[in-house]
Homo-oligomer: A and B are copies of this chain.
Amino acid sequence: MRRPTIADIARQAGVSKGAVSYALNGQPGVSEATRARILAIANEIGWRPNIAARALNGARAHAVGLALCRPARFLGVEPFFMELISGIEAELSARSYALLLQVVGGHEAEMGVYRRWWGEGRVDGAILVDLHLDDPRVPQVEEMGMPVVVLGHPSAAGSLVPVWADDSAAVRETVEYLVALGHRRIARVAGLPRLSHTAIRDRAFGDVCAGLGLDTCPIVHTDYTGEEGARATRRLLSSSERPTAIVFDNDIMAVAGLSVAQEMRLDVPADLSIVAWDDSPLCQVVRPPLTVLTRDIPAYGAHAAQRLLALIDGAETRPLEDQAPRLTTRGSTAPPA
């Protein structure tokens, strides 16, 4: 039971392959009657275009690539990637593009995957995530000439098209809110220090705290896991200058931090206010529910996909600034006791 080809259709319709091609692609060159006949036959015998054959004629691969460079154990931890992917997907599938996904162990492997995909004509472009400071992938991808959208701040994107959100503004909003509540000792439990968005948030945090004349504003770096979040929290809460508010870089660390505080018989929010980055069901399920910096992650992914498709079409190449994270206040923040 061979797949039907346009040659089969041509034979049945009594026309040439060329005519069938025109008819099926909505191009001029065939009469409406013939077109209808050809479409009917194609439909009847269940013809589908063979993308390989199409791609061979210099056409699009109709797929974009995403290589995630994270150990598997971190992937499950954060809902971020799944939400991002579903957003990217929504945009892609609307244009019948597929997403090629690969989980890789490191940057070299990631570049190897991109090189292979691009070299094999498997993808028309890619999305780069988790930018590092001085990320080696940026110049390498630039050299490959593959259309690429970068999820991250323009300052780190080189000549690639960035899609980004203003994390600095979110940090500022959060700290100002906590200060308005009366907090003077605010700490930050951050993610991996080599990630560029961590650096941006760190700097914004330092700047805002200094600007507001706050006392000590420690930053502790972690690997985003609950264990490290708990350890960082324990350390902060045991210090002589115990902070009255902690801003966490993700939800899982915030929940871990909450548990640590409660273990230490501290009341949240009376003794300690907690803010998490990125909302998730988790943040609403714990007691008290967590005040969070909310992002529309699927939209973020969708915008990135949009820009990438535009880039592939040779159109839009300007940076795209997405909505900044918004502070959603819940029960975990209050004036210090």
- Mark A residues whose CB is within 8 Å of B: 1, 3, 46-56, 61, 63, 72, 75-77, 79-83, 85-87, 89-90, 92-93, 96, 98-104, 113, 115-117, 119-122, 145, 225-227, 229-230, 252, 255-256, 259, 262-263, 280-282, 284-287, 297-298
Contacts and interface: CB of A to CB of B under 8 A. Distances in A.
| Pairs of residues from A and B, 7 with the lowest C-beta to C-beta distance, nearest first | A48-B119, A76-B79, A52-B55, A72-B86, A226-B285, A226-B281, A89-B103
Given A285-B230, A285-B255, A89 B76 contact: no
Given A52-B61, A93-B104, A262-B287, A255 B226 contact: no
Nearest to A225: B281
Contacts of A230: 285
Number of copies of this protein chain within its complex: 2
Nearest to A55: B52
Contacts of A1: 145
A82 B75 contact: yes
A182 B38 CA distance: 73
Contact of A259 (B47, B51, B285): B285
Given A50-B120, A89-B102, A100-B99, A259 B281 contact: no
Contacts of A48: 115-116, 119-120
Contacts of A297: 76
Contacts of A61: 52
Contacts of A227: 281
A252 B285 CA distance: 8
Contact of A282 (B50, B255, B262): B255
A101 B103 CA distance: 13
